[in-house]
Homo-oligomer: A and B are copies of this chain.
Amino acid sequence: MELAQAKLKFIEAWGKLGSEWGINRTMAQVHALLLISPEALTTEEVMDTLNISRGNANMTLRDLISWGLIEKQHKAGERKEYFFADKDTWNIARQVAKERRKRELDPVLKILGELTKVEGDLNDPEFKTFNKSVTDINKLAKNVDKTLDTMLKAEENWFWGSIFKIFK
Protein backbone atom coordinates (compact mmCIF):
# COMPACT_ATOMS: atom_id res chain seq x y z
CA MET A 1 0.00 0.00 0.00
CA GLU A 2 1.16 3.52 -0.77
CA LEU A 3 1.78 5.84 2.16
CA ALA A 4 -0.67 8.42 0.80
CA GLN A 5 -3.31 5.73 0.46
CA ALA A 6 -2.58 4.34 3.92
CA LYS A 7 -3.00 7.80 5.41
CA LEU A 8 -6.43 8.19 3.87
CA LYS A 9 -7.42 4.77 5.12
CA PHE A 10 -6.33 5.65 8.62
CA ILE A 11 -8.25 8.92 8.59
CA GLU A 12 -11.32 7.14 7.30
CA ALA A 13 -11.13 4.35 9.90
CA TRP A 14 -10.57 6.77 12.76
CA GLY A 15 -13.50 8.87 11.60
CA LYS A 16 -15.78 5.86 11.40
CA LEU A 17 -14.78 4.63 14.84
CA GLY A 18 -15.39 8.08 16.26
CA SER A 19 -18.86 8.33 14.77
CA GLU A 20 -19.78 4.92 16.17
CA TRP A 21 -18.83 6.15 19.61
CA GLY A 22 -20.76 9.39 19.46
CA ILE A 23 -17.89 11.61 18.38
CA ASN A 24 -18.37 13.82 15.36
CA ARG A 25 -16.89 12.04 12.35
CA THR A 26 -15.12 15.13 11.03
CA MET A 27 -13.63 15.83 14.42
CA ALA A 28 -12.18 12.33 14.56
CA GLN A 29 -10.84 12.73 11.03
CA VAL A 30 -9.13 16.01 11.76
CA HIS A 31 -7.63 14.40 14.84
CA ALA A 32 -6.41 11.47 12.75
CA LEU A 33 -4.88 13.82 10.21
CA LEU A 34 -2.94 15.69 12.87
CA LEU A 35 -1.89 12.45 14.53
CA ILE A 36 -0.02 11.36 11.45
CA SER A 37 1.37 14.78 10.52
CA PRO A 38 4.98 15.34 11.52
CA GLU A 39 4.44 19.10 11.29
CA ALA A 40 1.74 21.28 12.77
CA LEU A 41 -0.86 22.22 10.13
CA THR A 42 -2.82 25.37 9.39
CA THR A 43 -6.60 25.61 9.17
CA GLU A 44 -6.12 25.99 5.43
CA GLU A 45 -4.21 22.72 5.15
CA VAL A 46 -6.81 20.85 7.16
CA MET A 47 -9.59 22.30 4.97
CA ASP A 48 -7.83 21.30 1.79
CA THR A 49 -6.82 17.81 2.86
CA LEU A 50 -10.23 16.82 4.16
CA ASN A 51 -12.33 18.94 1.81
CA ILE A 52 -14.22 20.74 4.51
CA SER A 53 -15.23 24.36 4.81
CA ARG A 54 -13.41 27.02 6.75
CA GLY A 55 -16.20 27.25 9.31
CA ASN A 56 -16.23 23.54 9.89
CA ALA A 57 -12.44 23.35 10.16
CA ASN A 58 -12.37 26.22 12.61
CA MET A 59 -15.08 24.81 14.87
CA THR A 60 -13.66 21.31 14.77
CA LEU A 61 -10.17 22.49 15.65
CA ARG A 62 -11.52 24.50 18.55
CA ASP A 63 -13.46 21.45 19.72
CA LEU A 64 -10.36 19.30 19.62
CA ILE A 65 -8.54 21.89 21.68
CA SER A 66 -11.34 21.89 24.25
CA TRP A 67 -11.04 18.10 24.40
CA GLY A 68 -7.34 18.55 25.11
CA LEU A 69 -6.35 16.48 22.10
CA ILE A 70 -4.58 19.11 20.02
CA GLU A 71 -2.73 22.34 20.63
CA LYS A 72 -2.09 25.63 18.89
CA GLN A 73 1.36 26.62 17.82
CA HIS A 74 2.64 29.96 16.58
CA LYS A 75 5.52 30.25 14.21
CA ALA A 76 7.83 33.26 14.54
CA GLY A 77 7.10 35.95 12.01
CA GLU A 78 3.83 34.40 10.87
CA ARG A 79 0.29 35.29 11.71
CA LYS A 80 -1.26 31.94 10.91
CA GLU A 81 -2.10 29.51 13.67
CA TYR A 82 -0.71 26.01 13.44
CA PHE A 83 -2.23 22.93 15.09
CA PHE A 84 -0.65 19.72 16.20
CA ALA A 85 -1.88 16.64 18.06
CA ASP A 86 -0.61 15.07 21.22
CA LYS A 87 0.73 11.77 19.89
CA ASP A 88 0.97 9.84 23.14
CA THR A 89 -1.80 7.23 23.02
CA TRP A 90 -1.93 7.08 26.78
CA ASN A 91 -2.65 10.80 26.93
CA ILE A 92 -5.26 10.52 24.19
CA ALA A 93 -7.11 7.77 26.04
CA ARG A 94 -6.84 9.72 29.24
CA GLN A 95 -8.14 12.95 27.75
CA VAL A 96 -11.09 11.24 26.10
CA ALA A 97 -11.97 9.42 29.31
CA LYS A 98 -11.69 12.64 31.26
CA GLU A 99 -13.94 14.63 28.96
CA ARG A 100 -16.58 11.97 28.62
CA ARG A 101 -16.69 11.46 32.34
CA LYS A 102 -17.24 15.15 32.86
CA ARG A 103 -19.76 15.57 30.06
CA GLU A 104 -21.75 12.37 30.40
CA LEU A 105 -21.00 10.21 33.39
CA ASP A 106 -21.24 13.00 35.95
CA PRO A 107 -24.78 14.08 34.95
CA VAL A 108 -25.97 10.48 34.93
CA LEU A 109 -24.47 9.84 38.35
CA LYS A 110 -26.32 12.87 39.62
CA ILE A 111 -29.67 11.60 38.31
CA LEU A 112 -29.04 8.07 39.56
CA GLY A 113 -28.24 9.49 42.97
CA GLU A 114 -31.61 11.22 43.06
CA LEU A 115 -33.42 8.14 41.80
CA THR A 116 -31.93 5.84 44.42
CA LYS A 117 -33.48 8.14 47.00
CA VAL A 118 -37.03 7.66 45.73
CA GLU A 119 -39.02 5.97 48.46
CA GLY A 120 -41.74 3.40 48.14
CA ASP A 121 -43.29 0.17 49.30
CA LEU A 122 -40.95 -2.79 48.87
CA ASN A 123 -43.97 -5.08 48.62
CA ASP A 124 -44.94 -3.28 45.44
CA PRO A 125 -43.19 -5.20 42.63
CA GLU A 126 -43.18 -2.05 40.51
CA PHE A 127 -41.20 -0.18 43.11
CA LYS A 128 -39.03 -3.11 44.04
CA THR A 129 -37.84 -3.72 40.49
CA PHE A 130 -37.29 -0.04 39.83
CA ASN A 131 -35.34 0.36 43.03
CA LYS A 132 -33.18 -2.69 42.45
CA SER A 133 -32.26 -1.75 38.89
CA VAL A 134 -31.47 1.84 39.75
CA THR A 135 -29.43 0.83 42.78
CA ASP A 136 -27.46 -1.77 40.84
CA ILE A 137 -26.73 0.57 37.95
CA ASN A 138 -25.77 3.28 40.40
CA LYS A 139 -23.26 0.92 41.97
CA LEU A 140 -21.75 0.05 38.61
CA ALA A 141 -21.59 3.69 37.57
CA LYS A 142 -19.93 4.65 40.81
CA ASN A 143 -17.36 1.93 40.38
CA VAL A 144 -16.62 3.06 36.85
CA ASP A 145 -16.37 6.62 38.11
CA LYS A 146 -13.97 5.67 40.86
CA THR A 147 -11.84 3.63 38.48
CA LEU A 148 -11.65 6.48 35.98
CA ASP A 149 -10.79 8.89 38.73
CA THR A 150 -7.83 6.82 39.77
CA MET A 151 -6.78 6.23 36.22
CA LEU A 152 -6.90 9.94 35.45
CA LYS A 153 -4.90 10.84 38.48
CA ALA A 154 -2.17 8.37 37.72
CA GLU A 155 0.69 10.27 36.16
CA GLU A 156 2.30 7.14 34.80
CA ASN A 157 0.55 4.30 33.09
CA TRP A 158 1.23 1.93 35.93
CA PHE A 159 -2.48 1.32 36.15
CA TRP A 160 -3.08 -0.21 32.76
CA GLY A 161 0.37 -1.68 32.84
CA SER A 162 -0.48 -3.63 35.95
CA ILE A 163 -3.83 -4.72 34.62
CA PHE A 164 -2.49 -5.94 31.33
CA LYS A 165 0.23 -7.82 33.10
CA ILE A 166 -2.43 -10.05 34.65
CA PHE A 167 -3.40 -11.34 31.22
CA LYS A 168 -0.02 -11.88 29.68
Q: Which residues of A contact B (CB under 8 A)?
A: 1, 3, 6-7, 9-10, 13, 17, 19-22, 35-39, 87-90, 93, 103-104, 107-108, 111-112, 114-115, 117-118, 120, 125-130, 132-134, 136-137, 139-140, 143, 146-147, 150, 160, 163-164, 166-167
CB distance from A3 to the nearest CB of B (A): 5
CB of A6 within 8 A of CB of B115, answer yes
- A125 contact set on B, CB distance < 8 A: 38-39
Known: A128-B38, A146-B164. A1 touches B114 (CB 8 A): yes
Closest CB of chain B to A133's CB: distance in Å? 5
- Are B10 and A115 interface neighbours, CB within 8 A? yes
Determine chain A's interface SS by DSSP, over half rule.
helix
Contacts of A132 in B (CB 8 A): 87
Q: Would A140 and B89 count as touching, CB distance under 8 A?
A: yes
Nearest to A126 among chain B residues (CB) is B38
Is A3 a contact of B38 with CB atoms below 8 Å? no
Other CB < 8 Å A-B pairs besides A17-B108, A21-B21, 16 of them? A1-B115, A1-B117, A6-B115, A13-B108, A17-B104, A19-B22, A20-B22, A20-B104, A38-B129, A39-B125, A87-B133, A89-B139, A90-B140, A143-B160, A146-B167, A147-B163
